[in-house]
Structure formats: structure tokens, C-alpha cells
Amino acid sequence: MTAARYRPAWDLTLDPLLSCKLCLGEFPPEEMTTLSQCQCIFCTQCLKQYVELLIRDGLEPNVSCPDSACPKQGRLQEDEIECMVAAESLQRYKRLQFEREVLLDPCRTWCPSSSCQAVCRLPEAEPPGSQPARCPLCRLDFCSLCRAAWHPGRACRDRDRDRDRDPERPPGNSEASPIKRCPKCQVFIQRDEGCAQMMCKNCKHAFCWFCLESLDDDFLLIHYDKGPCRNKLGHSRASVIWHRTQVVGIFAGFGLLLLVASPLLLLATPFVLCCKCKCSKRDDDPLPT
């Protein structure tokens, strides 16, 4: 954030300073930017850092107004972003937009091959169902519904059941596949390495990579203590124990703080009420004549 500029109140020769809602500093109008859609005003430097941070983290393809209380819930236009960020950030922003467009387009999808980044056009069918699709780049034939290798005359669930029975089958959309859909918002997620606890950047849903079961409420990661995903978290046992100790310590700390503060609040209640009574009596006393 840039340092705010101040000048004496008696200096009336210049234009008045404007306040930035992000850094709360005051700047001359030439150092401020007004969003065309919602007319919210921010200093140019703060707005630039905000836009570059969103693009770098890939949180959303559309950059919303930084003011959480914006009455119009405005968004930055593409020409405003182009004038604000570096060429590398702009290229990443356009790529995020394109990925979002492909995701929402029922007639397009990404090639299921992890080594191919081509966009494939899906055949139109009414009602939508399993249809053969071919990647124009790597010539891979795959199913438009489950994105596994094309399986004519067989349902997608039948192939999944056969794959579970025969672990030696080639991995298509199986547990070993590096690309899967988020079980909540259906966004494609690629996992190169790391632990099996995944969090979707699009909807913030936490889930297990292997079985896609929700981990939103599993703070202690008990899911990996039993069942088919046992010991598949990808961390050592000591690391898991340390994680659980930290989580339990945080909850215990809040509980202890509440336990200590409760008696003090009960003891302070009569004094607070007494002070209020005295104040009300003083307000009700007639003025001396």
C-alpha cells in the first residue's frame, strides 16, 4: 500500500483529497480510480494490488468490487483490468476466463489426458448421455459422460464396477486418475502430488481425493483411520497426530477461556446493572430551580 498524502487544512489551492476504502488513506483525484460499473472509488495502487492478488490465487475469473458493502455489487471491466496489471497477470486472467467458459459450456470439455490441454467439442444429444468424443489434438477417444476411454454398449457405472474388481485395468477416471471433478461444483481438479485432502478453489469444498467423500466437518481427519482410505492421507502418522493435537488445543483453549470468563461475567453483572440504575436515576432527577 502506498503512503497517504496529507496537507494543511488552510491549503485551499488544490483539489480536495479523496479517501480510499482499502487503505483508508487520502489521495488527490489523479491517484484514484473510479469503477465504471458501481462508481466506487479506490486509490490506484491498492486496486492494482487487489486485482493482481485475485488473479494470482485464481479465486475467481471475474474480479468483483473490493468493497464488500458495494450496493451494486460491481465488477471490474476487462479494459480496466488491462490498464492495471502486468502482461503476465493479464494473460493468466484471460486463461481463467477461458477455463470458466469451457466449464460452463455443455458442448465443450477438456481432454481427459493429463498430458493434453486441448478443448474438445462434445456431440449434441437429447437427452444428454454417453456419447463418443475425440480429442482433436491427441486423437483420444473418450466418453462424453464419464470422460473415460470410450466403452460402446456399456454403461459408465458398469465400467466403474469392473475396474473395482480388476485393479490391473488401465486407470481412466479411476482412483489413480490425475484429474477428477469436485463432487460439489463439478469443476475439474488436477492433483500432481501432495496429500489426499483436497479443497476446491471454486466452491471451497474439502473432500477426499480417493473416494470423494466430504471432509468439510472432519477437522481431525478421522476419515483416514478406517475404511478403504485408511493411511492414504499422504502424511506420516506423527504429522497427523501433531495436526490433531493443534486442533484439539485450539478448541480446548477456547473452552478454557470461556470457562474462566463466565464467572467473571456473572460477578460483574450486578455492578453493571447498578451503574445503569445510577445513571438512569441521575437522568430522572429534576433540574434545580
**Pairing mode of beta strands 32-34, 26-27:** unpaired
Radius of gyration of the chain (CA): 29
- How far, CA to CA in Å, does 100 sit from each of 15, 109, 153? 43, 11, 32
Residues whose CB falls within 8 Å of the CB of residue 134, separated by 6 or more in sequence, listed in order: 120, 140, 141, 142
Question: Distance between CA 105 and CA 122 in Å, rounded?
Answer: 10
Q: Report the Cα–Cα distance between both ends of the chain, in Å, rounded.
A: 59
With cell 480388476, the residue in question is 166
195 is catalytic: yes
Question: Distance between CA 188 and CA 213 in Å, rounded?
Answer: 16
For the chain, what is the largest distance between any 2 Cα atoms, rounded to a whole number of angstroms? 101
- How far, CA to CA in Å, does 182 sit from each of 78, 109, 161, 172, 249? 28, 15, 21, 16, 31
DSSP assigned state of 30: G
Residues whose CB falls within 8 Å of the CB of residue 47, separated by 6 or more in sequence, listed in order: 22, 33, 66, 84
With cell 441521575, the residue in question is 282
Residue 26 backbone dihedrals phi, psi, to 5 degrees: -115, 135
Catalytic residue among 195, 200, 211, 229: 195
| Residues taking part in catalysis | 195
